[in-house]
């Protein structure tokens, strides 16, 4: 299999004409010249949207929204929800919930023995969770985002 | 018995290990994002949707064994409404990484043993109540990730494994946590007497058969067996298991996963492949995968193997298989160079007229980047300085926009050879196009 074997070296050094030159990176040698930047001591890290939206990456998941029942809470069709499972769900939180085999986004109502999932749009009824009915509060919605097609 | 055997009376700490293991991991990952699977029997199938590789608790209860070919259980599947999924490794890998991240909050020393099991070292945490620490681990993984785990705690890895088994099968402990350290010796003895020897870590089918011939059928009998005899009849490895069962820690945590000495990718095709062009596409796409893995561990490959074969399970059709390894003139991790060599090797081994069932590539002679020897005579066809940047960009784009977004034309566009994955769930956590949809209507 001659064309696959590494070229056999005869032990003679042959300079390759037109071989690639090894270029040293500019920063390899530090040379001080001119005045230091007056801003050097004030350098901040650039803002990172992840940091703003995602406090606990390991427990954070994203869901895509379909429908208009949460428009009152500024959650619109096509938004992407930031759901953090490490936040303990409380009365008043917007949550992703699994009910009757469906994934829903609603506001959690839990007061005076009543548990319900409330829409933020008058066209949609409140879903009261009856005793014995299963409700899995999957996680708490802590934010949302959307990318425009520009 | 006591655990003092290891402390040699000098107040040296007894090591403490916890084994944390996800229950029905693959099936649980599927269920986590799919509310329709609640209480339904779920199986996950191997590549090409061949065999059952994971079962939910409901499926286990139906007595459907691991590894059974899917077509053989069609009747049960219909009768009980079993839902089958193709393996969604992107999802399982991401959830596995998340579990490890959560577990890392509980111990600085952790060994990721498999995709769904990790050992934690808790030595020196003696102020802890291990039982409640285990419960806390379990609770946090359940809260944060929605996955159920069992925790087994013991003075050796082998015993931690057995404690985990006991927790999972509800033989001891409570709430999915079992701590052998605080168990009374007579209780532990009684427990081990009820556990078949094949459940002990490292005791495979062959050794089990041999042990049973010797009259050793339970974990307890193995613990009480004569270590000398075990070593001469089997090996030091099995002898070590005996000593670990007695509470002497012989196996340390392997924290650093040794870099892989070879990286391979091979798949069976969904349908037989006859044309070289199609094999080329498959091989090129496997190279893309292994080269990316290679770069992820900051290494270079020194040699490359390609192999192809017909379906060995169909002896009635003409058979052919061939593997060929080529040393590379210069160690590299450049997809383009590796693809070039792979296609050259394929050209050599390809024979027309056969129906190919499987192809694979393997990178060998893997060395960390920076240790490589530049070849004096190697042609610098692709300048290596530009190569690194280009590959970085390639990996970056594929990470952001999904695997295969940017690829060499050699990989092809159609991928007719791709394996069968009939019911693959979306990559819920690693693909923007696969996000779970939540209904606001």
**Mean of all residue pLDDT scores within chain A:** 84
For B25-45, give the secondary structure using H, E and C.
Answer: HHHHHHHHHCHHHCCCCEEEE
Residues 25-84 of chain A whose Cβ lies under 8 A from any Cβ of chain B: 56, 58-59, 61-70, 75, 77, 80-81
Residue B372 has pLDDT above 60, yes or no: no
Select the residue from A103, A135, A139, A143 to test the B interface by mutation, using most B Cβ atoms within 10 A: A103
Q: What is the pLDDT of residue A7?
A: 46
Residue of A nearest to B329 (CA): A6
Residue B244 has pLDDT above 50, yes or no: yes
Cβ contact B277:B264 at 8 Å: no
Q: Is the dihedral of CA B228, B234, B235, B239 positive or negative?
A: negative
Contact A20 B385 (CB under 8 A): yes
pLDDT band at residue B386, thresholds of 50, 70 and 90?
low
Q: Is B329 on the interface with A (CB under 8 A)?
A: yes
Q: Sort out which chain A residues have CB atoms less than 8 A from B94's CB and list them.
A: none
- When mean pLDDT is compared across B67-76, B110-119, B272-281, B393-402, the lowest value belongs to B393-402
Averaged pLDDT, B357-378: 72
Q: Which of B7-11, B63-67, B377-381, B406-410 has the highest mean pLDDT?
A: B63-67
Work out whether strand B149-154 and strand B177-179 pair parallel, antiparallel, or are unpaired.
Answer: parallel
Q: What is the pLDDT of residue B305?
A: 87
Residue of A nearest to B431 (CA): A62
Residues 353-412 of chain B whose Cβ lies under 8 A from any Cβ of chain A: 375-378, 380, 383-385
Contact A9 B377 (CB under 8 A): yes
Q: What is the pLDDT of residue B13?
A: 65
Contact B439 A63 (CB under 8 A): no
Give me B91's structure tokens.
């999802």
pLDDT digits (tens, 9 = 90+) for B268-325: 887 888 889 989 999 999 999 999 989 988 888 888 889 898 887 777 788 888 888 8
H or E segment and range at residue B75: helix B74-80
How many percent of chain B have pLDDT more than 90? 53
Q: What is the pLDDT of residue B401?
A: 67
Q: What is the pLDDT of residue A41?
A: 73
Contact B440 A70 (CB under 8 A): yes
Residue B15 has pLDDT above 70, yes or no: yes
> Annotated catalytic sites of A, by residue?
69, 106
Residue A24 has pLDDT above 90, yes or no: no
Nearest CB partner across the interface for B145, out of A14, A85, A102: A85
Q: What is the pLDDT of residue B8?
A: 37
pLDDT digits (tens, 9 = 90+) for B160-173: 999 999 999 999 99
Averaged pLDDT, B26-30: 96
CA–CA dist B244, B392 (Å, integer): 46
Q: Is A101 on the interface with B (CB under 8 A)?
A: yes
Nearest CB partner across the interface for B440, out of A5, A65, A99: A65
Q: Is B331 on the interface with A (CB under 8 A)?
A: no
Residue A4 has pLDDT above 60, yes or no: no
DSSP assignments along chain A, one per residue: -TTTSPPPP-S---PPTTPPP-PPPGGGS----SPPPTTGGG--PPP-HHHHH-S-GGGEEEEEEESSTTGGGT--TT-EEEEETTSPP-TT-EEEEEETTEEEEEEEEEETTEEEEE-SSTTS--EE--TT--EEEEEEEEEEE-----
pLDDT digits (tens, 9 = 90+) for B171-199: 999 999 999 999 999 999 999 999 999 99
CA–CA dist A20, A36 (Å, integer): 35
How many percent of chain A have pLDDT more than 90? 64
Residue of B nearest to A66 (CA): B439
Nearest CB partner across the interface for A103, out of B35, B102, B384: B35
Q: What is the pLDDT of residue A17?
A: 56
Q: What is the pLDDT of residue B231?
A: 93
Q: Which of A12-16, A39-43, A126-130, B307-311 has the highest mean pLDDT?
A: A126-130
Higher-scoring residue by pLDDT: B150, B259? B150
CA–CA dist B284, B348 (Å, integer): 15
Q: What is the pLDDT of residue B254?
A: 76
Residue A8 has pLDDT above 50, yes or no: no
Q: What is the pLDDT of residue B371?
A: 55
Contact A101 B344 (CB under 8 A): no
Q: What is the pLDDT of residue B2?
A: 44
For A88-113, give the secondary structure using H, E and C.
Answer: CCCCCCEEEEEECCEEEEEEEEEECC
- When mean pLDDT is compared across A63-72, A76-85, B20-29, B249-258, the lowest value belongs to B249-258
- The pTM (predicted TM-score) of the whole model is 0.70
Question: What CA–CA distances, in Å, run from B320 to B279, B283, B341?
Answer: 14, 17, 22
Residue B385 has pLDDT above 70, yes or no: no
Residue A3 has pLDDT above 50, yes or no: no
Averaged pLDDT, B396-401: 72
Higher-scoring residue by pLDDT: A64, B382? A64
Q: What is the pLDDT of residue B347?
A: 93
pLDDT band at residue B93, thresholds of 50, 70 and 90?
confident
CA atoms within 13 A on the CB side of B277: 6
């Amino acid at each position: 299999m001659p064309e696959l074997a590494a070229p056999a070296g005869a032990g003679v050094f042959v300079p390759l004409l037109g071989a690639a030159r090894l270029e040293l990176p500019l920063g390899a040698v530090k040379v001080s010249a001119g005045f230091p930047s007056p801003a050097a001591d004030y350098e901040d890290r650039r803002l990172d949207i992840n940091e703003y939206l995602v406090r606990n990456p390991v427990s954070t998941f994203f869901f895509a929204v379909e429908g208009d029942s949460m428009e009152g809470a500024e959650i619109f069709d096509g938004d992407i929800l930031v759901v953090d499972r490490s936040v303990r769900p409380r009365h008043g939180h917007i949550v992703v919930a699994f009910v009757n085999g469906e994934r829903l986004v609603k506001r959690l109502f839990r007061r005076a023995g009543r548990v319900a999932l409330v829409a933020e749009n008058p066209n949609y009824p409140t879903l009261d969770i009856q005793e014995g009915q299963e409700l899995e509060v999957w996680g708490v919605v802590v934010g949302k985002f959307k990318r425009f097609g520009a | 018995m006591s655990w003092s055997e290891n402390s040699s009376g000098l107040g040296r700490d007894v090591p403490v290990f916890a084994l944390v293991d996800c229950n029905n991991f693959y099936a649980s990952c599927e269920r986590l994002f799919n509310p329709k699977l609640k209480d339904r029997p779920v199986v996950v199938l191997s590549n090409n949707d061949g065999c059952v590789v994971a079962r939910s608790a409901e499926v286990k209860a139906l007595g459907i064994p691991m590894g059974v070919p899917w077509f053989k259980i069609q009747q049960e599947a219909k009768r009980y409404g079993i839902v089958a999924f193709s393996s969604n490794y992107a999802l399982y890998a991401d959830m596995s990484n998340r579990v490890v991240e959560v577990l890392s909050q509980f111990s600085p020393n952790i060994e990721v043993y498999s995709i769904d099991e990790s050992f934690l070292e808790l030595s020196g945490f003696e102020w802890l109540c291990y039982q409640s620490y285990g419960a806390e681990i379990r609770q946090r993984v359940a809260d944060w990730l929605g996955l159920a785990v069992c925790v087994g705690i013991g003075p050796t890895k082998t015993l931690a494994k057995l404690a985990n088994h006991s927790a999972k099968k509800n033989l001891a402990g409570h709430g999915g946590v079992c701590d052998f350290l605080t168990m009374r010796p007579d209780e532990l003895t009684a427990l081990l007497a009820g556990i078949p020897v094949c459940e002990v870590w490292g005791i495979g089918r062959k050794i089990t058969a041999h042990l049973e011939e010797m009259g050793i059928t339970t974990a307890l009998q193995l613990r009480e067996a004569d270590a000398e005899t075990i070593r001469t009849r089997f090996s030091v490895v099995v002898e070590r298991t005996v000593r670990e069962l007695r509470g002497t820690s012989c196996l340390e945590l392997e924290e650093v996963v040794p870099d892989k000495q070879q990286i391979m990718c091979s798949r069976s095709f969904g349908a037989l492949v006859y044309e070289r062009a199609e094999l080329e596409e498959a091989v090129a796409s496997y190279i893309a995968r292994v080269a990316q893995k290679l770069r992820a561990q900051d290494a270079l490959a020194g040699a490359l193997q390609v192999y192809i074969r017909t379906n060995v399970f169909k002896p009635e059709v003409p058979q052919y298989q061939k593997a060929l390894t080529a040393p590379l003139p210069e160690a590299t991790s450049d997809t383009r160079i590796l693809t070039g060599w792979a296609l050259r090797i394929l050209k050599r081994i390809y024979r027309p007229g056969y129906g190919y069932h499987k192809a694979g590539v393997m990178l060998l002679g893997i060395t960390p980047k920076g240790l490589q020897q530049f070849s004096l005579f190697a042609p610098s066809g692709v300048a290596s300085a530009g190569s690194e940047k280009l590959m970085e960009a390639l990996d970056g784009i594929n990470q952001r926009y999904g695997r295969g977004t940017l690829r060499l034309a050699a990989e092809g566009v159609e991928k007719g050879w791709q394996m069968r994955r009939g019911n693959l769930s979306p990559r819920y956590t690693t693909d923007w196009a696969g996000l779970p949809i939540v209904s606001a209507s």
